Amino acid sequence: MRWLRSAVARALLFIAVALIISSVVATYYGAQLSTSYSTSVPSSKVGAVAIVVLPSSQGIAKVNVTGASQVLYLSLGVNPLSLLEELHGVGISIVSLSTHEDFRAGVLIEVAGMAGNPIFVEQAFQGVVKYSKPVNGLYTISSPVNSNSSLVVVAIPSDNSSVVNVGVSYRVTGYGRLSTLGALAAAAVLAVISVAYDWLSGRA
Report yes or no: 101 and 108 within 8 Å, Cβ to Cβ: yes
Alpha helices, H only, the chain: 7-29, 84-89, 119-124, 180-203
Residues 59 and 149 in one domain: yes
Residues 119 and 148 in one domain: yes
Question: If residue 77 lies in a helix (H) or strand (E), which one and from where to where?
Answer: none
Residues 18 and 115 in one domain: no
Question: If residue 145 lies in a helix (H) or strand (E), which one and from where to where?
Answer: strand 139-145
Report yes or no: 74 and 129 within 8 Å, Cβ to Cβ: yes
Cβ-based neighbour number of residue 91 at 10 Å: 13
Does any domain span residue 19? yes
Higher pLDDT, 129 or 138: 138
Does any domain span residue 13? yes
**Cα–Cα distance measured from residue 203 to residue 201, given in angstroms and rounded to the nearest whole number:** 5
**Cα–Cα distance measured from residue 16 to residue 190, given in angstroms and rounded to the nearest whole number:** 6
Residues 60 and 82 in one domain: yes
Does any domain span residue 75? yes
Using DSSP's 3-state secondary structure scheme, residue 30 falls into: coil
Task: Give the CATH number of the domain where residue 45 resides.
Answer: 2.60.120
Residues 188 and 163 in one domain: no
Residue 200: beta bridge partners? none
In this prediction, residues 104-128 reach a mean pLDDT of: 73
101 Rama class: left (phi>0) / alpha (psi -120 to 50) / beta? beta
Question: What is the side-by-side strand order in the sheet with 163-172?
Answer: 34-42, 163-172, 59-66, 139-145
Does any domain span residue 1? no
Residues 105 and 16 in one domain: no
Higher pLDDT, 115 or 202: 115
Residues 95 and 19 in one domain: no
- The string of pLDDT tens digits covering residues 45-66 is 888 898 999 888 889 999 999 9
Does any domain span residue 148? yes
Higher pLDDT, 89 or 3: 89
Domain count, the chain: 2
Residues 38 and 128 in one domain: yes
For residue 199, which amino acid is it?
A: W
Question: What is the side-by-side strand order in the sheet with 130-131?
Answer: 93-102, 107-115, 48-55, 150-157, 68-76, 130-131
Does any domain span residue 159? yes
- Rounded to two decimals, what is the model's pTM? 0.69
- The string of pLDDT tens digits covering residues 65-104 is 999 999 999 888 766 666 655 666 666 777 888 888 887 7
Residues 110 and 190 in one domain: no
Does any domain span residue 116? yes
Comparing CA positions, the residue from 11, 6, 1 lying closest to residue 198 is 6
Residues 164 and 186 in one domain: no
Structural domain that includes position 163: 34-172
